Amino acid sequence: MKTFSATPADIDHKWYVVDADGMVLGRLASEVAKVIRGKHKPSFTPHMDTGDFVIVINAAKVRLTGRKAEQKMYFHHTGYMGHERFTAVRTVKAKHPERVIEHAVHGMLPKTALGRTHLRRKLRVFAGAEHPHVAQQPTPLVFAAARGRMARAG
């Protein structure tokens, strides 16, 4: 049996929509990163773009567990000595809730040119329930593990 390696002719990209309302941020981000990369497909090839497009709606309603809302900080360096900037997740979520999910998904993708391409092209995040990608007819994507304790109890 020969090893399968996907070629551009073998790749089929689909569109999925995920409702982030009440979902835990890390669990959501890991599942979204898996779909964006294409690891959910049997035709996954690490050096090819086999992933699917993911639209995340209701980003403002994503949950943070524990005391992360008060304690977690995002780090940014301006390039000048001593000019580190720390921003609380609570502040970013209030002003730009899309960036919280984008940052979490970015942390779970490979730090390569292909990883940057996945993040830039494949992920669309919206704070509310409306999105402009209705023409692509996205399929709803539900992650049982990402729903937290409610999925395990039911």
**20 in Cβ contact with 57 (< 8 Å):** yes
- In the chain, where does DSSP find H-type helix? 25-37, 68-71, 89-95, 97-107, 113-117, 149-153
Q: pTM (2 decimals)?
A: 0.88
38 within domain boundaries:
yes
**CA nearest 128: which of 63, 61, 64?**
61
**51 in Cβ contact with 13 (< 8 Å):** yes
**52 in Cβ contact with 16 (< 8 Å):** yes
81 within domain boundaries:
no
The domain tally of the chain equals: 1
6 within domain boundaries:
no
88 within domain boundaries:
no
- CATH code of the domain containing 136: 3.90.1180.10
93 within domain boundaries:
no
pLDDT, tens only, 78-98: 999 999 999 999 999 999 999
Predicted confidence at residue 22, as pLDDT, reads: 93
107 within domain boundaries:
yes
Regions of the chain short of the pLDDT cut 70: 145-154
Residue 40's domain comprises 15-64+100-153
Alpha-carbon gap, residue 18 to 27, rounded angstroms: 12
20 within domain boundaries:
yes
77 within domain boundaries:
no
Its sign, for the CA torsion 110, 115, 118, 124, is positive
Per residue in 109-141, is it b (16+ CB within 10 Å) or e — as a string?
Answer: beeeeebeebeeebbbbbbeeeeeeeebebeeb
**102 in Cβ contact with 59 (< 8 Å):** no
